[in-house]
């Protein structure tokens, strides 16, 4: 019984220490800079939504604000790779930047990696699967999942809260200290 109480007290202290860096308030500029990296997975994942946009063209109106960014992004060769390394090396690995910004930047990178790996797997499976009913369904699910993850993260960041996405946030916490 004593061991159980000591273990729960130790767990509570560890949890308190883990949460202390999260208890600080975030400034408006921190919130804005924490939202910006989520443009990377949003732009990368737009191609996954091609079937949804074909079925519901009215949804393309929501893309009008990010269209100039998408044009610039697609006009620069290896833009995704350049932005990935710039964010990783200049933001995530920079301890002088607030933890809130570094956490959200790393989370955006992790979402982007999931999108890139999923797109790569779909392209390796061939055009037969990627254009059929199964391919459309997989693309739609990935796109809607990306929209949900990015939307949730941006809203939480704008409110000054850490967006906790299961598994992804755990991996981010291992990378950002």
* SS3 annotation, 34-83: HHHHHHHHHHHHHHHHHHHHHHCHHHHHHHHHHHHHHHHHHHCCCHHHHH
Note whether residue 151 is domain-resident. yes
Say how many C-beta atoms besides its own lie within 10 A of residue 64's C-beta: 8
d(C-alpha 97, C-alpha 118), whole Å: 31
167 pLDDT higher than 80: yes
43 pLDDT higher than 90: yes
pLDDT the model gives residue 165? 94
Note whether residue 3 is domain-resident. no
Question: Two tokens at 39?
Answer: 């443009």
Note whether residue 93 is domain-resident. yes
> pLDDT tens digit string along 45-97?
998 999 999 999 999 998 899 999 999 999 999 999 999 999 999 999 999 99
- Cβ contacts of 158 within 8 Å, gap of 6 or more: 31, 35
Note whether residue 159 is domain-resident. yes
Residue 68's domain comprises 26-175
Mean pLDDT along residues 107-122: 93
User: How many domains does the structure of the chain reveal?
Assistant: 1
d(C-alpha 163, C-alpha 131), whole Å: 33
Query: Of the candidates 135, 115, 113, which has an alpha carbon nearest to the alpha carbon of residue 45?
Result: 115
Note whether residue 4 is domain-resident. no
Work out the pLDDT band at 44, boundaries 50, 70, 90.
very high
Mean pLDDT along residues 112-130: 83
Residue 32 near residue 82 (C-beta atoms within 8 A):
no
Work out the pLDDT band at 144, boundaries 50, 70, 90.
very high
d(C-alpha 92, C-alpha 139), whole Å: 29
Radius of gyration of the chain (CA): 19
23 pLDDT higher than 70: no
Torsion angles phi and psi, residue 56, rounded to 5: -130, 80
Note whether residue 120 is domain-resident. yes
Note whether residue 166 is domain-resident. yes
Residue 109 near residue 126 (C-beta atoms within 8 A):
no
Is the model more confident about 24 or about 170?
170
Lowest mean pLDDT among 16-20, 31-35, 67-71, 101-105: 16-20
């Amino acid at each position: 019984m004593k061991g159980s109480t000591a273990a729960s007290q130790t767990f509570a202290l560890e949890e308190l220490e883990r949460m202390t860096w999260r208890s600080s308030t975030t400034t408006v500029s921190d919130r804005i800079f924490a939202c910006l990296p989520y443009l990377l997975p949003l732009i990368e994942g737009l191609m996954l939504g091609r079937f949804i946009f074909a079925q519901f063209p009215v949804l393309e109106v929501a893309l009008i604000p990010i269209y100039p960014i998408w044009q610039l992004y697609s006009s620069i060769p290896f833009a995704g790779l350049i932005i990935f390394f710039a964010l990783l090396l200049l933001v995530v690995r920079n301890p002088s930047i607030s933890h809130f910004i570094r956490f959200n930047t790393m989370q955006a990178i992790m979402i982007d990696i999931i999108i890139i790996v999923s797109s790569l797997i779909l392209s390796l499976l061939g055009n037969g699967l990627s254009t059929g009913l199964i391919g459309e369904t997989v693309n739609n699910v990935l796109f809607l999942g990306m929209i949900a993850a990015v939307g949730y993260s941006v809203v939480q960041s704008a409110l000054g809260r850490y967006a906790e996405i299961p598994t992804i946030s755990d991996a981010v916490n291992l990378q950002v200290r």
